[in-house]
Amino acid sequence: MSVRPDLRNVAIVAHVDHGKTTLVDAMLWQSGAFSAHATVEKTGERVMDSGDLEREKGITILAKNTSIHYHGPAAKKLGLDDVTINVIDTPGHADFGGEVERGLSMVDGVVLLVDASEGPLPQTRFVLRKALEAKLPVVVVINKVDRPDSRITEVVSETTDLLLSLAEDIMNEGVEADVDSLLDVPVIYASAKAGVSSLTNPGDGNLPTEDLEPLFSTILQHIPGPTYEEGSPLQAHVTNLDASPFLGRLALLRIHNGTLRKGETVGLARHDGSIKPVRITELLRTEGLERVPAEEAGPGEIVAAAGVEDITIGESLVDLEDPRPLPLIKVDDPAISMTIGINTSPMAGRVKGAKVTARQVKDRLDRELVGNVSIRVLPTDRPDAWEVQDRGELALAILVEQMRREGFELTVGKPQVVTKEIDGKLCEPMERMTIDIPEEHLGAVTQLMAQRKGRMTSMANHGTGWIRLEFIVPSRGLIGFRTRFLTETRGTGIAYSIAEGYEPWQGIIEQRLTGSLVSDRVGKATPYAMTNLQERGSFIVEPGSEVYEGQVVGENPRGEDMDVNITREKKQTNTRSSTADVYESLTPSRKLSLEESLEFAANDECVEVTPEAVRVRKVVLDSQERFKIAARQRRGQH
């Protein structure tokens, strides 16, 4: 096997908000990637988070790659003037695990970023396990060492323990792991925001004195260059897809062997085993954040190729005379599903230019299948609705939000778990949840988790007034959990979870203890009606907004639904009263986001999504029909 010393392919992985994207930005600036691009200014925004949703939510949703040309002292030690470092910025949230798995299939090593205060958290475990299963070398970066609450020595110890426990887990499953290398993992101490790093512990709360040179030199020293077989035919793996308004669909490729040239005719190895001749019309190499044309690309390089309109993720480009297809990318099974269909409410089609037909919705879901390997779209008993399965509630909510911004009107069902039968038993997906809370909320949170069939596996008190709890809990127990959790902890609690396999069905879980206030007619919500009704519950619609029969307008503290007339107006009379203009104060309505609406919806409710509004409604809008269904269900129970 030959090695390319002038190239490194590395993925930066971490938990949500531990600073991956900030570190990639700092690496780009310090390597001079933007010196030739005067239009890029250092405004404080993360240049790698390019999507609107990514900037709004502050998380990475799509894995992205960039290229850094490093000319520093570490390159000179290798006898090279220039080393290209291809960096994959992966999402930290387990719901986007398909992006992580694709990212790891493109690289030869991993930079693991850990917060100097929070330490390794669940998503750290998720992405690190994937890296160890792929036998990728690891470089640990302890980030945010200048935090006043940093505990660097303890976090290094926790990270080493995590590496060894994961290695033990995968070895117990029959997968080999290099334990000796894990005992000697290099550790870098850094502050990505300040753009500084060090090979030695600067002490809690202190900034390192050097720039990112220690990080660059450690990457070159500990992460190997790509290996390839000399003289082997072309093998290139499609790991992601993009699109260009000028070139059409672009396939992002990692070339494992051989050379790919512009204008060349190669073979496309399909999922079904067939091989189809295709012509590469354009070849693009990444320089910083831009793609520049290239005539050819060799082993280990990550490039974009145009000219193959029907290419999909996991397929391979091979030599037509000696085809050797690469294995398909394997991703974990989806755990959560929801029904997505056309908008069936009385307000459907009111937004000018909205996409409302079943064909448009199905075409959009089919397009999502092309670029998202972790999603599945299945038919239902209705021709205008489909069951969409993915890793988690957040991933599905992101898809619906993207469709809403593209002008679609949808009816979205409440998220459900995807069960499977194992050894003749009905099993459901479980999650490992890590919770950080102030000490005073311990009782309330443990009681909340017990109601949702969660069992505690560990509890640790760091001595700072905060407690860390770990639970194994059914995935369906976490549907609607976050709102209750934030209420119980008064907004101070932090909770994260990752998949933990399947276990036998855990029994009935009470999802929502409150009922709904449901509008019994069409009209506009009036302040007069809402003032009289606010003793009955809280509202999720604003005064003056249009409502229809069957729309959920508020929450009833009692565990039953209540039909209300929220459109009632005050009767006008000719008699003047000294109190005529005196009104009670109306409590402000709670405005629910899309994710909050999906959590809030009860089992017999769904969410209407339009470009202008998100509404919670009953699946069956007619109150008489709902009453008959409830009566039939009660008779069936007795």
State yes or no: 145 annotated in a binding site.
yes
Q: Helix 481-488 to helix 442-451 angle, to the nearest 10 degrees? A: 160
DSSP bridge partners of 387: 339, 378
Structure tokens at 536: 């009955």
Phi, psi for 239 (deg, rounded to 5): -110, -15
According to the annotation, is 22 in a ligand binding site? yes
Nearest to 567 by CA among 531, 536, 521: 521
Cβ contact 289:295 at 8 Å:
no
10: annotated binding-site residue? no
**Interacting residues of 65 by C-beta distance below 8 A, sequence separation 6+:** 86, 87, 88, 89, 106, 252, 286, 302
Q: How far apart are CA 479 and CA 614, in angstroms?
A: 19
464 assigned to a ligand binding site:
no
**Is 15 assigned to a binding site?**
no
Give the span between the Cα atoms of 351 and 408, in whole angstroms. 10
Amino acid identity for residue 519 in this structure: S
Secondary structure element (H or E) that encloses residue 597, with its range = helix 594-600
How is residue 458 written in tokens?
A: 């560990």
Q: Which residues pair with 318 in a beta bridge?
A: 235, 267
- Helix H or strand E segment including 201: none
Residue 208, token pair as written in the block:
């390192």
**Contact of 614 with 593, CB cutoff 8 Å:** yes
Backbone phi, then psi, for 8, in 5-degree steps? -135, 135
**Which runs of consecutive H residues, i.e. helices, occur in 150-237?**
152-172, 179-183, 213-222
Continuous segment of H or E residues that includes residue 359: helix 358-371
Q: How far is the CA of 213 from the CAs of 44, 70, 75, 620, in angstroms?
A: 22, 10, 11, 62
Q: Is 20 annotated as a binding residue?
A: yes
Structure token pair of residue 91:
């999402």
Cβ atoms of 565 and 614 within 8 Å: the answer is no
Q: For the packed helices 122-133 and 152-172, what is the interaxial angle rounded to 10 degrees?
A: 50
In the block, which residue shows the tokens 């030599």?
319
Look up tokens 């997505």; give the residue: 340
Q: Is the dihedral of CA 351, 354, 357, 361 positive or negative?
A: negative
Beta bridge partners of 372: none
Q: Cα–Cα distance between 355 and 410 in angstroms, integer?
A: 9
- Measured CA to CA, the distance from residue 156 to residue 183 in angstroms comes to 12
> How far lies 68's CA from each of 30, 79, 84, 88, 198, in Å?
10, 18, 6, 11, 20
Helix axes 393-405, 358-371, angle to 10 degrees: 130
Residue 130 counted as an annotated binding residue: no
Q: Look at residue 429 and give its three-state secondary structure.
A: strand
CA angle 471, 473, 474 (to 5 degrees): 170
State both tokens at 97. Answer: 């695990």
Residue 483 among known ligand-binding residues:
no
Which segments are annotated as binding site for GTP? 17-22, 143-146
Binding residues: 17-22, 143-146
